[in-house]
Amino acid sequence: MTLPVMPHGPRKLKLATVSLAGCFGCHTSFLDIDERLFELIEHVEFDRSPLTDIKEVGHCDLGLIEGGLCNAENVMVLREFRAHCKTLVAVGACAITGGLPAQRNHLDVGVMLTDVYRSRPGLSAGSGIPNDPELPLPLNKVHPIHEVVHVDYFLPGCPPSADAFWSFLTDLLAGRTPHLGHGLMRYD
């Protein structure tokens, strides 16, 4: 990787990640870059990420976001994340298309909640749909993130492989437009 040289040496880019409605598989795949993480931390400083356990996002150069939008909290987190990231990357099928969570899009959310929490055999008497104010309101449909905010880059896959992450980040950090060649995209 070649980064711009600042007067006091190369500047580390701030990188943050977040997961919305998905399986967390993209984050796991990102961590699968294994020992290359040590090379990566020579060039980036992690902000909000499972690697840091920081819950709030500060201003960052690069934001990686996995998962689609299935509830009001996802939308709020996405908008806040976008506002703090110079460059935003939609990572994986859920962020790009809604992915597997979007399989519910052909169902009525109200009917689905009633079926699961009130009508299903084996429920306790008086069972009801959870309505605690702490719970985020579900959206009628699962949406990809580009329907709500501007996305600068898309890293496809389900999940993208560790090598795809590495190639993508290497290109981006070197100032090149990321290009995933044959064999780097997968949908497991």
Q: Rounded to whole angstroms, how far apart are CA atoms 101 and 105? A: 8
Delineate the domains of the chain, giving CATH numbers in brackets. Answer: 5-105+139-173 (3.40.50.700)
Region 109-119: mean pLDDT is 90
Q: State the average pLDDT for the chain.
A: 89
pTM of the model: 0.87
pLDDT tens digits for 53-95?
A: 777 778 999 999 999 999 999 999 999 999 999 999 999 999 9
Region 138-166: mean pLDDT is 96
Answer yes or no: are the C-beta atoms of 57 and 10 closer than 8 Å: no
Question: What are residue 66's DSSP bridge partners?
Answer: 19, 91
Q: What amino acid is encoded at 96 in this protein? A: I
pLDDT of residue 186 exceeding 70, the answer is no
pLDDT of residue 1 exceeding 50, the answer is no
Q: What angle do CA 74, 34, 160 make, to 5 degrees?
A: 45
* Residues 14, 37, 149, 93, Cα dihedral to 10°: 180
